[in-house]
Amino acid sequence: MANPLYDTMFGRYSGAQTVFLQMPDGRTVTHDAFQRQAARYAHVMSAAGLNPGDRLAVQIAKSPENLAVYAACVQSGIIFLPLNTAYTPAEVEYFVSNSGAKLVLCDSSAEALLAPIAATNDAALMTLDANGSGSFTKKAEGQPETFVTVDRNADDLAAFLYTSGTTGRSKGAMLTQANLLSNAEALRDYWKFTDKDILLNALPIFHTHGLFVATNITLLAGGSMLFLPKFDMDAVIAALPRATSMMGVPTFYTRLLDDPRFDRDLVKGMRLFISGSAPLLAETHRLFEERTGHRILERYGMTETNMNTSNPYDGDRRAGTVGYPLPGVDLKVTDPDTGEELAPGEIGMIEVRGPNVFKGYWQMPEKTKEELRENGFFITGDLGLMDADGYVQIVGRGKDLIISGGFNVYPKEIELLIDALPGVKESAVIGAPHSDFGESVVAVLVPEADTTLETSCIADALRETLAGFKQPRCYAVVEELPRNTMGKVQKSTLREQFAHVFKGA
């Protein structure tokens, strides 16, 4: 095959008048129109001097046009690098310079702020707004509606997704065509997606979940998506009766349960609700079944590996578990110190291997070596066990990570920024249970001697550099941080101490 990902997901729809995307305002996009738009975009990229293997960074709203940029990248062998729309220019600067992106696409409202960043990094800058307009669109007008698909091998890179690290620096996870395709095929079959499916997609499309899991599977199955720009409760309630399936983070499901309009009748046409990206409480699973008659299917994945495990479609979907390893995925639980495989039921580090596992971190061979073993097993940083029936449970994290509403927040990144502020001696950032986001960010600060810290000044300083979802929602000032005999900050003690700060939030 000339370009396995393009041919199986996009190219085969050439000329097809079937609906791919249904927008909340009633607008529809056929596969054929989508293809033609992607081809025009591919011509613009090529005219801008981008070659196969170059990176294109996008920080634009979720829209059909955004997805068409993804398709155009796949068709022309350009590496697609989507960025969270919440990132500040300071954050974007790092991704552009680290990836060496040749073209940055942004919303016109961000153009003035990103222009110097693009210029410093020798990248072109074009705009593409939520309504489809912008300088990129202008250049696409009148371009040919077909593009000669660039040959790619299964092992060639298709996308970079940045994932933060415990050292505070984001790492570009390099995903190949085969990573994305093999996982989408496995999931389509496991979850029985067909061309009859209408998937409600209210997820952002700058992460694995909304982009690769939701979109790639729909394309492979030949189905369509109710493509909501974001999780807006009224829009979700309005769309649900037309959907056959939905994917979401646990916050979507707890919010739905809080809405009295969400009932059995509203979802009578649904066949499947899937949850992932963060732990789904067993309580949510139970309440959801009581309300709707549906047992949510929970699965487990990550940026570096796509999806690893899933509860069964036909069998028992067990609350508090993430199911079985997917076909083709080897999963073992190991002793975090020795790497030795543990017996069923014992808690240890989850490691996975398979065609889904990424190629490594962009220009970080040392980091890659630390996490990706020579035998192909990736050390996930998640602690868990496999029970006697083969179900995997995630019981904690070996990595210092907070997951807030499905977004990952790495404490180190925030601590480094806080520690550099005047008056701060040191800090520890932790996650505390939050009724809406699952976990939310708490910053515990130690002032310099004889200094009074104004936490509002700290919050103001962080607002300039950090995306909103990473900003602490609670600050506490203490005299000193708890440490063990080795001098290491004991975050578990802090987590216990601050476990109740968001109670009732």
Residue 322 touches which of ligand MLC, ligand AMP, none (Cβ within 5-8 Å per kind): ligand AMP
Selected binder of ligand MLC within 95, 147, 469, 498 (CB under 6 A)? 469
Residues 388 and 385: their CA atoms lie apart, in Å, by: 10
392 has which bridge partners? 323, 386
Q: How far apart are the first and last CA of the chain?
A: 53
Residue 129 touches which of ligand MLC, ligand AMP, none (Cβ within 5-8 Å per kind): none
437 binds ligand MLC (CB under 6 A): yes
Residue 15: CB minimum distance to ligand MLC, A? 33
394 binds ligand AMP (CB under 6 A): yes
Any residues with CB less than 8 A from the CB of 301 and at least 6 apart, and which? 208, 209, 213, 276, 277, 307, 308, 309
Closer Cβ to ligand MLC, 10 or 502, answer by number: 502
Residue 70: CB minimum distance to ligand MLC, A? 15
Residue 280: CB minimum distance to ligand AMP, A? 6
284 binds ligand MLC (CB under 6 A): no
Closer Cβ to ligand MLC, 82 or 405, answer by number: 405
Q: Note whether 349 and 336 are within 8 A (CB).
A: yes
- With contacts defined by CB under 6 A, name the span among 32-40, 125-133, 399-407, 490-498 that binds ligand MLC: 399-407
- With contacts defined by CB under 6 A, name the span among 43-51, 79-87, 251-259, 293-301 that binds ligand AMP: 293-301
Which strands, in side-by-side order, build the sheet including 348-353? 330-334, 348-353, 378-386, 392-397
Residue 202: CB minimum distance to ligand MLC, A? 7
Cα separations in angstroms, 174 against 145, 157, 161: 30, 7, 7
208 binds ligand AMP (CB under 6 A): yes
Q: Note whether 98 and 170 are within 8 A (CB).
A: yes
Q: Note whether 393 and 345 are within 8 A (CB).
A: no
Residues numbered 193 to 222 that lie near ligand MLC (CB under 6 A) are 203-204, 207-210
Query: Which positions from 271 to 290 touch ligand AMP by CB under 6 A, shown as an x/- string?
Result: -----xxxx-----------
- With contacts defined by CB under 6 A, name the span among 103-111, 195-203, 378-386, 425-433 that binds ligand AMP: 378-386
In the structure encoding, which two tokens stand for residue 46, read together? 């090529």
Question: b/e per residue, 376-392, with b = 16+ CB within 10 A?
Answer: ebbbbbbbbbbeeeebb
Q: Note whether 333 and 384 are within 8 A (CB).
A: yes
Residue 279 touches which of ligand AMP, ligand MLC, none (Cβ within 5-8 Å per kind): ligand AMP
Residues 7 and 392: their CA atoms lie apart, in Å, by: 34
Residue 384: CB minimum distance to ligand MLC, A? 14
Report which DSSP code applies to 83. -
322 binds ligand AMP (CB under 6 A): yes
Closer Cβ to ligand MLC, 54 or 415, answer by number: 415
Residues 458 and 121: their CA atoms lie apart, in Å, by: 30
Residue 21 touches which of ligand MLC, ligand AMP, none (Cβ within 5-8 Å per kind): none
The residues that touch ligand AMP, with contacts defined as CB under 6 A, are: 163, 208, 276-279, 298, 300-303, 322, 380-382, 394, 397, 403, 408
